[in-house]
Structure 1
Amino acid sequence: MFNDIGALELVALVVLAVLVFGPDKLPKVIQDTTRFIRKIREFSDNAKQDIRSELGPEFKDFEFEDLNPKTYLRKQFNENDELRELKELTSSFDLRKEMNEVAGGIDGKDSGSAVPATVNGSGTPDLLKKADRPARPDTDERPPYDSDAT
């Protein structure tokens, strides 16, 4: 709970507690605080046991930490062999490399891909010629309204 509090912060908290409560009342405040924390933990443990008993025997290994989606997914990935194989498969597939190969084939660059460089005997595919592409309208000009498209 307090894993990220350093020694300097702890000393500052002790000095602040002595200044606020005074050396006479500090032991009583510490006892009251620990008693309060103990009661909260007991209440929490009892609530967890009640929930587990109400869920039934099929949920005897239910952990409340599994309600956090990240924890649940991490547990499922570690336990399930099929998901582990899927993870290995996705790590071996490099999407950027595939996209660069396809883009290189479209632009006519030699990237060593299996994309055919010619269609119908021309140097670039007919559908991908830059001359066939419509010119982009100016940014200030709105496209025409098409009532059939709406």
Structure 2
Amino acid sequence: MLFDVSTLDLLVLGIMIILFFGPDKLPEVIQKVTGFLRKVRAFSEAAKEDVRSELGPEFKDLELEDLHPKTFVRKHLLDGDGDGDGLGIEEIRSALDPRAELAELADAVNGEPSEPSEPTGRTGSGSSRAASPEQAPAHAYDPDAT
């Protein structure tokens, strides 16, 4: 419903209005309220037209609802209907998806070999350790301390 008002609330409001104004003045009050709403609507439409005319001919198709942040993001970023350089929803999801990093971290914590991000052969350190997982320590941390 309108503004999350139930039918029972509207019914109670209607009964209160009838009791407050009485059946004799009720048509006059309804006419005044509808006249006020028409004036407010006309004022808002005139304000929109003034904004459009002041912005110039480039903004003739401007809808003020498009300036709401949620609508702006939905229209320009998620749909990608802009000038072609908008981001698609899949690119945003893949950029913000932490699954790959979490899987790599889980493999490192569990001691499972993962695809190396660094070259395995180190030179210049003088150590003769091999880079195979069998010769590497089982844990890179002290399991008794944790």
TM-score for the superposition, normalised by structure 1: 0.67
Q: Which amino acid aligns with 2:62?
A: F
User: Structure 1 residues 29, 124: closer, same or farther in 2, change over 3 A?
Assistant: farther
SS in 1 for 2:86: helix
Asked if the contact 1:105/1:115 (under 8 Å) is kept, the reply is no
Using the TM superposition, give the Cα deviation of residue 109 of structure 1 relative to its aligned residue in structure 2, in angstroms.
4.0
Residue ranges of structure 2 left out of the alignment (5+ in a row): 123-128
Q: Which amino acid aligns with 2:41?
A: R
Paired residue for 1:6? 6
Using the TM superposition, give the Cα deviation of residue 94 of structure 1 relative to its aligned residue in structure 2, in angstroms.
7.3
Q: What's the CA shift string for 1:88-115, capped at 9, x where partnerless? A: 23435673421331222221343x7424
CA–CA distance in 1 between the matches of 2:2 and 2:110? 59
SS in 2 for 1:130: coil
CA–CA distance in 2 between the matches of 1:130 and 1:69? 47
Asked whether 1:129 is paired with 2:119, we answer no
Q: Which amino acid aligns with 1:17?
A: I
Q: Which amino acid aligns with 1:101?
A: A
TM-score for the superposition, normalised by structure 2: 0.68
More helix by share: 1
Residue ranges of structure 1 left out of the alignment (5+ in a row): 136-150
CA RMSD of aligned residues (A): 3.2
Q: Which amino acid aligns with 1:31?
A: Q
User: Structure 1 residues 42, 29: closer, same or farther in 2, change over 3 A?
Assistant: same
Q: 92-101 vs 64-73, which deviates more?
A: 92-101
CA–CA distance in 1 between the matches of 2:85 and 2:53? 32
Q: Taking CA–CA contacts closer than 8 Å with sequence separation of 6 or more, which of the two structures ends up with the larger relative contact order?
A: 2
Paired residue for 2:44? 44
Q: Which amino acid aligns with 1:129?
A: A
Correspondence list, 1:14-25, <5 A: 14-25=14-25
User: Structure 1 residues 39, 19: closer, same or farther in 2, change over 3 A?
Assistant: same
Q: Which amino acid aligns with 1:114?
A: E
What percent identity do the matched residue pairs reach?
39
Paired residue for 1:105? 107
Q: 48-57 vs 100-109, which deviates more?
A: 100-109
Using the TM superposition, give the Cα deviation of residue 20 of structure 1 relative to its aligned residue in structure 2, in angstroms.
1.8
